[in-house]
Amino acid sequence: MVDHGALDSIGTGQNLVRTLHRAFGMRLPDDLLWVENPDTGERIRVVPGEWRTRDVKVVRHAPVSADVVPSFIDHFDRGYARFRLATAVIAVVSSHHRLTWIHPFVDGNGRTARLHSQAFRRRAGVGSDLWSVSRGLARTVERYKAALARADDPPQGVTDGRGTLSERGLAEFVDDFIDTCLDQVSFLSSLLEPAGFLDRLRRFVQTEAGRRRLDIKT
Protein backbone atom coordinates (compact mmCIF):
# COMPACT_ATOMS: atom_id res chain seq x y z
CA MET A 1 0.00 0.00 0.00
CA VAL A 2 2.81 2.39 0.90
CA ASP A 3 5.04 1.65 -2.08
CA HIS A 4 2.16 1.67 -4.58
CA GLY A 5 0.98 5.11 -3.43
CA ALA A 6 -2.32 3.99 -1.91
CA LEU A 7 -1.68 6.22 1.14
CA ASP A 8 -0.18 9.22 -0.63
CA SER A 9 -3.31 11.33 -0.10
CA ILE A 10 -2.91 11.08 3.70
CA GLY A 11 -0.56 13.46 5.48
CA THR A 12 2.57 12.44 7.41
CA GLY A 13 1.05 12.84 10.89
CA GLN A 14 -1.48 11.02 13.03
CA ASN A 15 -3.92 10.18 10.22
CA LEU A 16 -1.16 8.24 8.47
CA VAL A 17 0.01 6.66 11.74
CA ARG A 18 -3.48 5.40 12.61
CA THR A 19 -4.18 4.23 9.06
CA LEU A 20 -0.94 2.22 8.98
CA HIS A 21 -1.60 0.60 12.35
CA ARG A 22 -5.18 -0.21 11.36
CA ALA A 23 -4.23 -1.61 7.94
CA PHE A 24 -1.51 -3.77 9.47
CA GLY A 25 -3.60 -4.94 12.42
CA MET A 26 -6.61 -5.88 10.32
CA ARG A 27 -4.42 -8.31 8.38
CA LEU A 28 -3.26 -10.18 11.49
CA PRO A 29 -4.91 -13.31 12.85
CA ASP A 30 -6.84 -12.74 16.08
CA ASP A 31 -4.30 -14.52 18.29
CA LEU A 32 -1.69 -11.89 17.35
CA LEU A 33 -3.95 -9.05 18.48
CA TRP A 34 -3.47 -9.87 22.15
CA VAL A 35 -0.61 -8.90 24.47
CA GLU A 36 0.03 -9.94 28.05
CA ASN A 37 0.93 -7.69 30.97
CA PRO A 38 4.18 -9.26 32.28
CA ASP A 39 3.47 -8.09 35.83
CA THR A 40 -0.15 -9.22 36.20
CA GLY A 41 -0.61 -11.78 33.42
CA GLU A 42 -3.64 -9.82 32.17
CA ARG A 43 -4.37 -10.29 28.46
CA ILE A 44 -5.03 -7.03 26.62
CA ARG A 45 -6.58 -6.78 23.17
CA VAL A 46 -4.92 -4.56 20.58
CA VAL A 47 -7.52 -2.54 18.66
CA PRO A 48 -6.05 -1.63 15.23
CA GLY A 49 -5.81 2.12 14.76
CA GLU A 50 -6.86 3.03 18.32
CA TRP A 51 -4.63 4.93 20.77
CA ARG A 52 -3.87 3.03 23.95
CA THR A 53 -6.04 3.77 26.99
CA ARG A 54 -3.66 2.40 29.62
CA ASP A 55 -0.09 3.04 30.70
CA VAL A 56 2.63 0.66 29.51
CA LYS A 57 6.33 0.01 30.06
CA VAL A 58 8.75 -1.13 27.36
CA VAL A 59 11.92 -2.60 28.89
CA ARG A 60 13.58 0.50 30.46
CA HIS A 61 11.34 3.01 28.71
CA ALA A 62 8.16 4.28 30.35
CA PRO A 63 6.18 6.02 27.56
CA VAL A 64 3.90 8.99 28.25
CA SER A 65 0.75 8.19 30.19
CA ALA A 66 -2.29 7.15 28.17
CA ASP A 67 -4.30 10.28 28.97
CA VAL A 68 -1.75 12.57 27.26
CA VAL A 69 -1.13 10.40 24.16
CA PRO A 70 -3.58 12.50 22.04
CA SER A 71 -1.86 15.78 22.98
CA PHE A 72 1.61 14.36 22.28
CA ILE A 73 0.42 13.05 18.92
CA ASP A 74 -1.03 16.50 18.13
CA HIS A 75 2.41 17.96 18.87
CA PHE A 76 3.95 15.28 16.63
CA ASP A 77 1.55 16.42 13.88
CA ARG A 78 2.62 20.03 14.15
CA GLY A 79 6.30 19.21 14.39
CA TYR A 80 6.43 17.21 11.15
CA ALA A 81 3.70 18.89 9.11
CA ARG A 82 6.25 21.04 7.28
CA PHE A 83 9.83 20.29 6.36
CA ARG A 84 12.38 21.57 3.87
CA LEU A 85 13.81 19.25 1.25
CA ALA A 86 17.29 19.89 2.66
CA THR A 87 16.26 18.51 6.06
CA ALA A 88 13.77 15.87 4.88
CA VAL A 89 16.03 12.91 5.75
CA ILE A 90 16.54 14.17 9.31
CA ALA A 91 12.79 14.78 9.66
CA VAL A 92 12.00 11.22 8.55
CA VAL A 93 14.44 9.66 11.02
CA SER A 94 13.65 11.98 13.94
CA SER A 95 9.92 11.32 13.56
CA HIS A 96 10.67 7.59 13.73
CA HIS A 97 12.21 7.91 17.18
CA ARG A 98 9.62 10.39 18.46
CA LEU A 99 6.78 8.09 17.41
CA THR A 100 8.27 5.06 19.16
CA TRP A 101 8.99 7.20 22.24
CA ILE A 102 5.33 8.29 22.48
CA HIS A 103 4.32 4.64 21.97
CA PRO A 104 0.72 5.54 21.07
CA PHE A 105 -0.61 1.97 20.69
CA VAL A 106 -0.77 -0.97 23.08
CA ASP A 107 1.35 -2.99 20.63
CA GLY A 108 2.67 -2.70 17.08
CA ASN A 109 4.40 0.65 17.59
CA GLY A 110 7.74 -0.43 16.11
CA ARG A 111 6.13 -1.94 13.02
CA THR A 112 3.99 1.17 12.55
CA ALA A 113 6.99 3.48 12.96
CA ARG A 114 8.96 1.55 10.33
CA LEU A 115 6.04 1.69 7.89
CA HIS A 116 5.62 5.40 8.68
CA SER A 117 9.29 6.02 7.87
CA GLN A 118 8.87 4.28 4.52
CA ALA A 119 5.75 6.34 3.76
CA PHE A 120 7.28 9.60 5.04
CA ARG A 121 10.45 9.28 2.96
CA ARG A 122 8.33 8.47 -0.09
CA ARG A 123 6.32 11.63 0.56
CA ALA A 124 9.53 13.62 1.03
CA GLY A 125 11.00 12.33 -2.23
CA VAL A 126 13.89 10.59 -0.45
CA GLY A 127 15.28 7.43 -2.06
CA SER A 128 13.15 5.04 -4.09
CA ASP A 129 10.77 2.12 -3.63
CA LEU A 130 13.50 -0.35 -4.61
CA TRP A 131 14.87 -0.49 -1.07
CA SER A 132 13.15 -0.73 2.30
CA VAL A 133 13.98 0.83 5.65
CA SER A 134 12.40 -2.14 7.45
CA ARG A 135 14.61 -4.66 5.63
CA GLY A 136 17.73 -2.83 6.72
CA LEU A 137 16.64 -2.43 10.34
CA ALA A 138 15.73 -6.13 10.53
CA ARG A 139 19.34 -6.99 9.66
CA THR A 140 20.71 -4.80 12.49
CA VAL A 141 17.89 -5.20 15.00
CA GLU A 142 20.02 -5.18 18.18
CA ARG A 143 22.00 -2.13 17.10
CA TYR A 144 18.75 -0.42 16.06
CA LYS A 145 17.09 -1.07 19.44
CA ALA A 146 20.17 0.11 21.33
CA ALA A 147 20.28 3.36 19.33
CA LEU A 148 16.55 3.90 19.95
CA ALA A 149 17.09 3.38 23.69
CA ARG A 150 19.97 5.89 23.82
CA ALA A 151 17.74 8.50 22.17
CA ASP A 152 15.21 7.90 25.00
CA ASP A 153 17.73 9.08 27.60
CA PRO A 154 17.44 12.46 29.35
CA PRO A 155 20.12 15.08 28.51
CA GLN A 156 23.60 13.96 29.52
CA GLY A 157 24.92 17.28 30.83
CA VAL A 158 24.23 20.95 30.15
CA THR A 159 25.48 20.80 26.55
CA ASP A 160 23.16 17.96 25.53
CA GLY A 161 20.19 19.93 24.24
CA ARG A 162 17.53 22.03 25.98
CA GLY A 163 14.61 19.56 25.94
CA THR A 164 13.66 16.57 28.08
CA LEU A 165 15.48 14.09 25.82
CA SER A 166 19.13 13.75 24.85
CA GLU A 167 19.95 15.70 21.70
CA ARG A 168 23.18 13.75 21.35
CA GLY A 169 21.27 10.48 21.61
CA LEU A 170 18.88 11.56 18.85
CA ALA A 171 21.78 12.67 16.62
CA GLU A 172 23.47 9.28 17.09
CA PHE A 173 20.22 7.50 16.24
CA VAL A 174 19.83 9.61 13.08
CA ASP A 175 23.41 8.78 12.02
CA ASP A 176 22.91 5.07 12.64
CA PHE A 177 19.55 5.00 10.83
CA ILE A 178 20.98 6.80 7.79
CA ASP A 179 23.96 4.40 7.72
CA THR A 180 21.45 1.52 7.60
CA CYS A 181 19.62 3.17 4.69
CA LEU A 182 22.87 3.73 2.80
CA ASP A 183 23.77 0.07 3.34
CA GLN A 184 20.45 -0.93 1.75
CA VAL A 185 21.05 1.40 -1.20
CA SER A 186 24.51 -0.11 -1.73
CA PHE A 187 23.14 -3.65 -1.41
CA LEU A 188 20.41 -3.09 -4.00
CA SER A 189 22.81 -1.26 -6.31
CA SER A 190 25.21 -4.20 -6.21
CA LEU A 191 22.37 -6.59 -7.10
CA LEU A 192 20.85 -4.52 -9.88
CA GLU A 193 23.98 -2.84 -11.26
CA PRO A 194 21.92 0.00 -12.80
CA ALA A 195 24.80 1.12 -15.02
CA GLY A 196 24.76 -2.18 -16.89
CA PHE A 197 21.04 -2.88 -16.70
CA LEU A 198 20.13 -1.56 -20.15
CA ASP A 199 22.91 -3.59 -21.74
CA ARG A 200 21.72 -6.76 -19.96
CA LEU A 201 18.12 -6.04 -20.99
CA ARG A 202 19.15 -5.52 -24.62
CA ARG A 203 21.04 -8.83 -24.68
CA PHE A 204 18.09 -10.62 -23.06
CA VAL A 205 15.66 -9.29 -25.70
CA GLN A 206 18.01 -10.27 -28.53
CA THR A 207 18.47 -13.79 -27.10
CA GLU A 208 14.74 -14.34 -26.59
CA ALA A 209 13.97 -13.01 -30.06
CA GLY A 210 16.61 -15.32 -31.54
CA ARG A 211 14.90 -18.27 -29.87
CA ARG A 212 11.55 -17.09 -31.21
CA ARG A 213 10.14 -16.67 -27.69
CA LEU A 214 9.76 -12.93 -28.05
CA ASP A 215 8.51 -10.76 -30.89
CA ILE A 216 11.03 -7.91 -30.91
CA LYS A 217 8.55 -5.70 -32.80
CA THR A 218 6.12 -5.69 -29.88
For 79-94, write each residue's pLDDT tens digit.
Answer: 888 777 778 889 999 9
pLDDT of residue 113: 96
What are the tens digits of pLDDT across the range 134-149?
888 998 999 999 999 9
9-57 tens-digit pLDDT: 888 889 999 999 999 999 999 999 999 887 788 899 999 999 999 998 8
Q: What is the pLDDT of residues 189-211, one digit of tens each?
A: 888 777 777 888 888 888 888 88
Q: Where do the structural domains in the chain lie, given as residue ranges? A: 1-88+105-125
Q: Residues 52, 69: contact at Cβ < 8 Å?
A: yes
The C-alpha atoms of residue 202 and residue 164 are separated, in whole angstroms, by 57
For the chain, the average pLDDT equals 89
Strand, coil or helix: 156: coil
**Residue 172 pLDDT > 90, yes or no?**
yes
- In this prediction, residue 128 has a pLDDT band, given cuts at 50, 70 and 90, of confident
- Three-state secondary-structure class, residue 64: coil
Residue 43: DSSP 8-state: E
CA distances, 166 to each of 88, 109, 172 (Å): 21, 21, 10
Q: Are 96 and 109 in contact (CB under 8 A)?
A: no
Contact 38, 57 (CB under 8 A): no
- Measured CA to CA, the distance from residue 54 to residue 51 in angstroms comes to 9
The whole-number pLDDT of residue 127 equals 74
The residue-averaged pLDDT of 162-189 equals 92
Phi, psi of 178 (to 5 degrees): -65, -40
